[in-house]
A and B are shown apart, each in its own frame.
Chain A
Amino acid sequence: MNLSETEQRILIYTPRIRDAELTEQILRKGGLGTVICADMIDVGLKLREGAGAILIAGESLDDLGVSNLISALASQEAWSEMPLLIFAPSGDQAARTYERINARAHLTLLDRPIHVKSLLSVVHSALRSRIRQYEIRELMKRLEERVDERDRFLAILGHELRNPLGAILLASQMVDPEERKLDGAHAAVIERQSRHLTRLVNDLLDLSRVASGKIILKQQVIDLVAVVRQSMQVIRDTAMSHKLEMNLNAPAEPVLIQADPVRIDQILGNLLTNSIKYTPEGGHVTVSIETNSDRAAIIRVKDDGVGVSPDRIGRIFELFNQAENAIGRSQGGMGIGLALVRNLVSLHGGTVSASSDGVGKGSEFVVALPLAKEQTVSSPVQARKSGATSAPRKIVIVEDNADVRDLLRLKLRKLGHEVHAAADGLEGVKAVIEIRPDLALVDIGLPGIDGYEVAARVRQQVGHDVFLVAVSGFGLPEDKRRAQEAGFDEHLTKPADVNDIENVLARFQRRPVL
C-alpha cells in the first residue's frame, strides 16, 4: 500500500539534542525517515499528525512528559496502537510509568548501550507492525463503506417494496360490496404490481448470485436474431400498454454467438424494460443487430425517452442508479436491471455501453458479444410462450398455503383442467396415487413430509406414470438437482403463475384425459 512519509516517519526525542542527532543518523543510514521533536509536547503534536513509531529516551518521561504522551496516545483511533520504543532506565518508578504507557501503546523497552544492528532491527520491526495497522485501517474503512452501502440498499429496497405493496393492498380492498367481486381493472393492478415485485426479487437474487460467482452459464451456439425476436415478443404487450412503438432491424441471416440463451434473454429483457420505463407514451424503442469487423455481434437498444444527463451517464450501470425524474421515480426502480445487464454481458466476454445526448433526448445501449467460432446452431431456441394454452389435463396441486392453493385451483379450472388439491404431503401422496393425474404440482416446503418425500413415495407407488413438478421458493442449480434426484420431472421457482404452469403443460406429452 502507498503510505505517506508522515505515516512512516520515526519521531525521536531525547533531552540531549546530540543523542537525538546521533540516533537520527543511524536510522537514516538504515533507510528510515525521521523527525527530531523539540520536547514531549512536540512528540504529542506530531503523533496526532501521524507517525510510524516513536523513539524516546526514558529520562524524558517526567510527570509532565508522561502526561502529555498518554494524552496524545489516548487520542488515537481504534485501529491504532503506536509502536513506542524507549531507551529505558531501570527502577520501580520507571516500571510503573511503563505500565501506564503500555495500556495505550505497543511498548518496547531498549537497554543501553545498544548495538546499531539491534536498534535498526527493532525499529524496522516496529514500523512493520505499524504498516499492518494501516492495512487494518483500510479494511475497516472498506467495511464501514460496505455497511453504509448495505444500509442504503435496504432503505432503497424498503422504498421500492412499499409502493407496489401499497397498490396491491388498496386494489385488493376494492371488492364490490354487493357482488363481492374484484373488478378487472383492480385485479390487473394486483397482477401488474405482483409481477413487478417478482421481477425485483428475481433481479436481486440474480445479482447476488453473479456477485458471488454462483451463476453458471449454459453456453451453446445460438442465433442471436431469434433470441432477440423472442424477447421482444414477450415484452410487446408491455410496450403496447405504454403506447410505445417497438421495432427490430436485424439481418435476414442468423447471427451466431456462443451464449446462454436464458441469460441473453434476460439481458434483452432488462434493456427493453428500462427503455420502456423511461420513454413517455407515443415514443419509440428500436432494437438493431449487426456484426462488425472485430467478429462481434452488436445489439443496439435505442429509445427516444427521457435520456440521461452527462453527469450520470458514466454511472448508469451502477447499482441504485436510476433516472431522477418523475417517470423513473413514479414507476420505481433500484437500478438493479442495468447492473445485472453489465454483469451478465461481462460473463459472456462482452461489453455494454450507454450513450445519450442529454435529458429529454433519448438513450442508446450497445451490447457487443463475441461471434461463435462454430457456425452451427447447437439447438433451436425454445419458444418461450406467454400464456400458451394446452389440452385439458387432470392435475393435483399439493400446497399448504390455502390462498395459493385455492387461487391456482380456480385459475386452472377456468382453463378447462380437472383440478384436485391437497394441503399437506401425506394427503398429496394419497391424492396422486388414487387419482393418477397427468401432472402434480408439489410445493417443496410442506408440513409433515416435504415435497421431496412426496415425490419419492409417488415414484415408488406409481413409477413415472405421473409428471411431477416441484414448486419451490429456491431456484438455484442445486435445488433443481435435488428435485430431479427426488424424482421430479420439472422444477418451477415461486411465485409460479399460471403462465409458467401452462408452459410446463405445453411441454408435457400425454394422451388426452378429458
Chain B
Amino acid sequence: MSSATVLLVEDHAELRSLIVATLGRRHVVCEGVATPQEAVLKLRQDDRYSYVLLDVQGALEGDPVIRYLTDDVDGGMSRLVLIGDDDPREEQNDAYSGPFLRKPFDMNELCARLAIRLQS
C-alpha cells in the first residue's frame, strides 16, 4: 500500500486534514480537496491516483467525480471508495456496489478497505 496515492474529497476541513495526516503516517500519499469540482480539476490535470475517497453528498448520479470516473474506460469506478452518512448501496440499487465507509470510521477500517480495493 506504500506506493498508493489517494485523492480525498471531504468538505469538513478538520476531518480532511486528519485523514491526510493519518494516511501519511501509514505511508500513503493523500491529497485532500474540499469539493467534487476541485477533485475533477485535479483528476483532469494529472490523474495519478490509485484511489478516490469521496464523501458522498446527495445522489450519486449528480456527483461530478462519479461522472468523471464512470466515463473513465480504464476502470475508473474501481478506484472509488465512498464515505458518508448513508450507505448509497442500500437505496440506489445498481448505481454503486463498491466499498462504503459510514462516518465516523476507524482508520484501521479505512486502510483495510483501501487494501481490499487495491486487490480487486
Contact = CB atoms under 8 A, between A and B. Distances in A.
B46 interface: no
A330 B13 contact: yes
Given A159-B85, A162-B85, A167 B15 contact: yes
A170 B15 contact: yes
Given A174-B25, A326-B35, A167 B85 contact: no
Nearest to B110: A170
Contacts of B12: 163, 166-167, 330-332
Contacts of A330: 11-13, 34
B118 interface: no
B34 A326 contact: yes
Nearest to B14: A167
Contacts of B21: 174
A60 interface: no
Contact of A173 (B11, B35, B103, B107): B107
B18 A171 contact: yes
Contacts of A35: none
Contacts, number: 59
B72 interface: no
A173 B104 contact: no
A165 interface: yes
B51 to A, nearest CB: 17
Given A189-B14, A330-B34, A165 B25 contact: no
B22 A170 contact: yes
A189 B18 contact: yes
Nearest to B103: A162
B85 A329 contact: no
Query: Which of B12, B25, B35 gathers most chain A CB within 10 Å?
Result: B12
Interface string B95-115: 000000001111110000000
A424 to B, nearest CB: 31
Contacts of B29: none
How many B residues touch the partner, as a band? 10 to 19
A332 B103 CA distance: 14
B19 interface: yes
A158 B15 contact: no
A513 interface: no
A390 interface: no
Contacts of B25: 174
Interface string B21-51: 1100100000000110000000000000000
A461 to B, nearest CB: 45
Is chain A's interface secondary structure helix, strand, loop, or mixed overall? Answer: helix
Interface in B1-15: 11-15
A169 interface: yes
Contacts of A155: 85
Nearest to A165: B104
B103 A166 contact: yes
Given A166-B104, A326-B11, A330-B13, A174 B85 contact: no
Contacts of A159: 85
A193 interface: yes
Nearest to B16: A330
A168 B35 CA distance: 22
A326 B103 CA distance: 19
A162 B84 CA distance: 9
A331 B105 CA distance: 19
Contacts of A166: 12, 15, 18, 103-105
A173 B106 CA distance: 9
A111 to B, nearest CB: 59
Query: Which of B12, B15, B19, B103 gathers most chain A CB within 10 Å?
Result: B15
A189 B104 CA distance: 15
Contacts of B15: 163, 166-167, 170
A170 B18 contact: yes
B13 A170 contact: no
A331 to B, nearest CB: 7
A192 B15 CA distance: 12
Interface in A142-170: 155, 158-159, 162-163, 165-170
Contacts of A192: 14
A199 to B, nearest CB: 15
Nearest to B108: A173
Interface of A: 155, 158-159, 162-163, 165-171, 173-174, 186, 189, 192-193, 326, 329-332
The 3 nearest A-B residue pairs measured at CB: A166-B104, A162-B103, A165-B104
16 contacts: A162-B85, A163-B103, A163-B104, A166-B103, A167-B14, A168-B104, A169-B104, A169-B105, A173-B22, A173-B108, A174-B22, A186-B18, A189-B14, A189-B18, A326-B35, A331-B12
Given A166-B18, A173-B107, A331-B13, 17 more contacts: A155-B85, A158-B85, A163-B12, A165-B103, A166-B12, A166-B105, A167-B15, A170-B18, A170-B107, A173-B22, A186-B18, A189-B14, A192-B14, A193-B14, A326-B11, A330-B12, A330-B13
